[in-house]
Chain A
């Protein structure tokens, strides 16, 4: 069992090993949705919610698969649970806030193929976290994802007004900005490790 404290896990997942900027998980929505601060925040919320639920489910599934001695089913069962959770969230959002549903567009169902969520489930299993550690880890990862998305959206809103050559506009500029952001986050390394 892993002995890390909750605050360590949280800081580690949110800042030091930020899912987007250090592990490159969830790059698709990061590049796609991070155009506006408003949408970015909501997307971050949706992802955090799915992360929390799928992290709990993944913990249960892992324990169950250990018990029946079938670890090769791990990947398949994780992805099925994540897909169903996303479906649930999608129906919920559609009912509660059609405007938000419109704003998130194709990226909501694409949370299923968001590596950050499956990555989270796999990492927490690899690290051997217990139930509460897993939930903390999921919360930290979600916070980190939202933070990265918000920062990026802020940057991009400013970049829209900058005069840059036409060749650099679009993905190239976003990637360079992401690289600089990733460098900035490296300043957090060492934080939270005792």
Chain B
């Protein structure tokens, strides 16, 4: 109990670390499949990020609540079942909210199940921490993931179709960079963002 008390001061840190210091996309490079696949427009990226965040928060809470009841040997299997349940829920929810969005994201909603980020948070954090902290951790990580996705989506949408969230912003003479919407553009954009982060880190370390 004492140990937990001494940790309470850091609860804002649990939240912040997902956004910045341990950002899942830029620092941990986890869960890359959806990041690259659905970040061709900012809307898709935002929807995917929020769906992942929802699953992350729900599964982290449930894993945290059940952490004393799940036998160690079958923990990974149990986590995956918990995650799969929430993904099924969000899959049907998105279908009910917008059929178009569901069609755009396609199988990638179901593929949230195998997003390494969610499983790694369940295993590395929620299975060892209290409910409150696990929710904070999931919130931070989920928002950090969404932030990463949207920043990728924005770049790809602006350069690839000259628009932001579907609203054209570029002058008519703008020649669209088709490559940005294609799969290769995903790789290049992520590489560019990582490069920016690396440069920043290098600069800070040099100071």
Contact of A172 among B36, B113, B198 (CB under 8 A): B198
Q: Which one of B9-17, B136-144, B179-187 is at the interface?
A: B179-187
Q: Annotate B10-26 by CB proximity to A: 1 below 8 A, 0 otherwise.
A: 00000000000000000
Asked if A112 CB lies within 8 Å of chain B CBs, one says: yes
User: Helix, strand, loop or mixed for chain B's interface?
Assistant: helix
- A75-B87, A175-B194, A179-B191 given as contacts; is B199 within 8 A of A167 (CB)? yes
Chain B residue at minimum C-beta to C-beta distance from A72: B88
Q: Annotate B168-186 by CB proximity to A: 1 below 8 A, 0 otherwise.
A: 0000000000010011111
- A27-B32, A175-B187 given as contacts; is B87 within 8 A of A118 (CB)? no
- A75-B84, A75-B91, A115-B114 given as contacts; is B191 within 8 A of A172 (CB)? yes
We find that the number of chain B residues with CB closer than 8 angstroms to chain A is 38
Chain A residue at minimum C-beta to C-beta distance from B182: A186
We find that the number of chain A residues with CB closer than 8 angstroms to chain B is 38
- A122-B107, A179-B191 given as contacts; is B77 within 8 A of A72 (CB)? no
Asked if A15 CB lies within 8 Å of chain B CBs, one says: no
Please give, as numbers and ranges, the residues of chain B lying within 8 Å of A31 by CB-CB distance. 29, 32
Contact of A27 among B33, B81, B198 (CB under 8 A): B33
In the complex, are the beta carbons of A115 and B111 less than 8 A apart? yes
| A residues lining the B interface (CB < 8 Å) | 21-28, 31, 72, 75-76, 79-80, 83, 110, 112-115, 118-119, 122-123, 126, 166-168, 171-172, 175-176, 178-180, 182-183, 186
Q: Annotate B29-65 by CB proximity to A: 1 below 8 A, 0 otherwise.
A: 1001100110000000000000000000000000000
Nearest 7 interchain pairs by C-beta: A179-B187, A175-B191, A24-B36, A27-B32, A182-B184, A24-B37, A122-B107
- A24-B33, A25-B33, A28-B32 given as contacts; is B80 within 8 A of A176 (CB)? no
Contact of A72 among B36, B92, B114, B115 (CB under 8 A): B92
In the complex, are the beta carbons of B195 and A168 less than 8 A apart? yes
In the complex, are the beta carbons of A179 and B188 less than 8 A apart? yes
Asked if B8 CB lies within 8 Å of chain A CBs, one says: no
Chain A residue at minimum C-beta to C-beta distance from B111: A115
Please give, as numbers and ranges, the residues of chain B lying within 8 Å of A122 by CB-CB distance. 107, 110-111
Asked if B149 CB lies within 8 Å of chain A CBs, one says: no
Q: In the bound complex, how far is the Cα of B116 from the Cα of A75, in angstroms?
A: 16
